[in-house]
Every structure is written in structure tokens, then in C-alpha cells.
Structure 1
Amino acid sequence: MVICAALFGLSASALHAQTVGEAQLKVALIYNFIMFTEWPADAFTNNKLSICAMKNSALLDALLTLEVRAIRSRPLQIVQLTEAADYSGCAVLVIDRIDRLQLPSIRKTIASRSVLTILDGDDVDNDGAIIAMSVVNGRMVFDINTQSAQNARLIFSSKLLRLARKVQ
């Protein structure tokens, strides 16, 4: 919660005054990850910034609330994926714990694309996720794999990197 407060510029008392569920907090983090990420100029085929998640994602309902927003004049679009998904239009790919086993094959599929992969759960390791977020001791934390980001030609703001629990 403290990290969300820092990203949104909210005071701790204002944050505690609001009752926000874990899914909404994670989606707030995702929104800010996007805000503090730069994609290469050739990464987008249209004006929209597509955030993709599996249809069974625990975060899907909360992600759908972002469709009324835009980042850097790009409207956000939430894309619900099936198991045999085409990730070609995804600028952001949100992966649940349940889909984590698919991450290595997903990374191979999107290897030549600039896709910000965000794992809901655990920490980043050798599976290729760029950002992993989780709740540890009641606090929302996130880790960043800068090598995976560099491979995807993504650049993070130093502000975001300073807030990460672990940067590797």
C-alpha cells in the first residue's frame, strides 16, 4: 500500500481511509508500471495501448476499469485472452500465478516484441517476467528484471526502479 501511495502521491492516512481490495491495488500498480515505462516508437501498430490478460485472470474485472483511461494520449484497451492466444497486439501482458507455468513459452512467442510482462505473484527469476508483484507481510511489493526489460527494448523511469523491492 505504501508503494501505491508513493506512486499516486497519496498520504498514508488518505490511503487507509479508502477501502481498496488487493485486485484494485494491483491494477493501480499495473497502471503506474505502464506510466513509468517507455516503449520504442515501432512497438505500436495502432493508437491503443493493449493490456492483455487471460479470461480467467483474477485481475480481469479490476483491469476492465482502466478502459476509460489513456496514457500519453493512447487509450487503454483490455484484451481477454484464451489459452491459444495471439499475443501480437499486447503492449502489456498480465500473467496470474495459475498461468505462470506458461510464461517460458509465452516469452518465446513474444521474444522479438516489446511486451511488458507482469507476473502476479512471487518474484522475478529466470522465467523471463519483467515485473513481478506480490503481497509480502501485508505489503504490496514488486521486483523488476532489467535484463528482460532491455531484451524487450523497454525503459523504466528511475522513479519506478527506486520503488522496487528488488532490481536485477
Structure 2
Amino acid sequence: MGQLFRPPIGARAWPRHLAMLSLAVALAWLPAAASAQSIGSDAQAKARVVVTFARFVQWPADTFASEDMPLQLCVLHDSATLADAFRRQLAAPVPGRPMQLQLMPAATGHTALAAPAAHCHLMYFDDSAPRRLTELLPPPDEPVLTMAQVDGFASRGGMVELVVVNDALRFDVNLAALQRANLNVRAGVLKLAREVLRDGGRR
């Protein structure tokens, strides 16, 4: 079963400058691989970026039946540490649409994951999961935000690829893929991207 995380009653959306700052902070630092706590810290950084990025994305008006309908966040992984990091990230009360976490362990199997994946609004493919699971990507015109820390994900049709550059967590954005799915991302977020892929190539 998914875990539902709701904002406090009456909570308002974050002021834009504070929300943007939270994303910038999330990207600012990732411990070096030699760090004693690098595995846990790496998982926390990824969960923070994925959840924060989602709050800057606008889905088509008919995606949700009501303001209280939760966004289904599906995490395909093979890491108990990552699963715990997402639980912790979503446990903190944050204004905005509630998110329902669907943890989808790779051990479940490709066929068994296909059915629940059809109900996701956001799919995150972690590098701990087999690369073949990216075959579960939805059709290009489906309003499903796809994110991954998988090499070449954005250039192969994924929307947001997390990359580590000089111990900092960055992201590449496939803007053409987002537009085909009728998903809008705030311009300020694109300025934080390492690369933006458009129909005509990279920016």
C-alpha cells in the first residue's frame, strides 16, 4: 500500500523564492564517495531533489479530480536505504498537494510492476534498480513525470536525469519530452539545470 503524506490543513503554497531556494540547497552538496555516510547521504540527496523538483511541475488540469487528490510518486529501486530516505523526505509537512509514496522494489519483477506503474504521476528510476526497468516508461504523451539517475536517461526519452558533478547533484532536463507530455516546469528551475535538451538539440 502507498503511504499518504498530507500538508497541514490550510497550508498555502510555498512562496516562489523560498521554493526555488529549497531546490538550490538540495542540489548544492553531495558527499564524496569516500565519506563514511555516503550511501545514506546520497539517498537523502536524491529523495530531496526528486520531491522538491516535483513541486515545480504543473500537470494538465484534468489530471487530478480534486485539489486533495494525492500525487502518486512511484520509486523503482533496489535499496532499503533509498526507500527510507523517501519516507523521511515525505514525512515532513510541506504545503501543496499531498504525495502518496509507492515503493516498487526491483525484486518484485518487471511484469508485476507494470500494473501499479500505470497509475503513477511521477516515476523515479534509481540506479540501484536494473536498467531494464526503464522499459516501464509510459507512452511519450502520457502526463507522467519521469526521473532517474541512469546514464543517458534524458537523451533516451526520460524527462529528468540526475547526475553527479564534482560531488554535487545536478540534473539534465529533456524539455521536449516534458512538452510532449503536456507538463510545464517553471523557467527558474531550468536555469538550475546542467543541460536542457530541446527538439533542436541541447541549449
Shorter-chain TM-score: what band? 0.7 to 0.9
Provide Cα deviations, 1:89-144, integer angstroms capped at 9, x if missing partner.
Answer: 211101022333332x322x444421111112435443211001121221111100
Higher Rg of the two aligned structures:
2
**Which stretch of structure 1 is more off in the superposition, 27-36 or 50-59?**
50-59
* Structure 2 counterpart of 1:99: 130
CA distance in 2 between partners of 1:37 and 1:31 (Å): 11
Q: Distance in 2 between matches of 1:9 and 1:148?
A: 21
Match for residue 76 of structure 2 among 16, 32, 54 = 54
CA contact (8 A) 2:48 2:89 kept: no
> Normalized against structure 1, the TM-score is what?
0.78
2:173 alignment partner AA: I
Asked if the contact 2:154–2:173 (Cα under 8 Å) also holds between the matched residues in 1, the reply is no
Provide the C-alpha distance between the structure 2 equivalents of 1:71 and 1:114, rounded to a whole number of angstroms.
Answer: 22
Q: In the alignment, does 2:183 pair up with 1:154? A: yes
> Unaligned regions of 5+ residues in structure 2, if any?
1-19, 31-36, 198-203
Q: Secondary structure at the match of 1:89?
A: coil
Aligned residues: CA RMSD: 2.8
Give the one of 160, 165, 168 matched to 2:194. Answer: 165
Q: 1:52 to 1:110 in 2, by over 3 A?
A: farther
Moved more, 25-34 or 52-61: 52-61
* Residue in structure 1 matched with residue 173 of structure 2 by the alignment: 144
- TM-score when normalising by structure 2: 0.66
1:65 aligned onto 2:88: yes
Residue 117 of structure 1 contacts residue 131 of structure 1 at CA under 8 Å; is this kept in 2? yes
2:131 is paired with a residue whose SS is helix
Q: How many corresponding residue pairs?
A: 156
Which residue of structure 2 lines up, in the alignment, with residue 3 of structure 1?
A: none
Long gaps (5+) in structure 1? 1-5
Aligned-partner residue type, residue 94 of structure 1 = Y
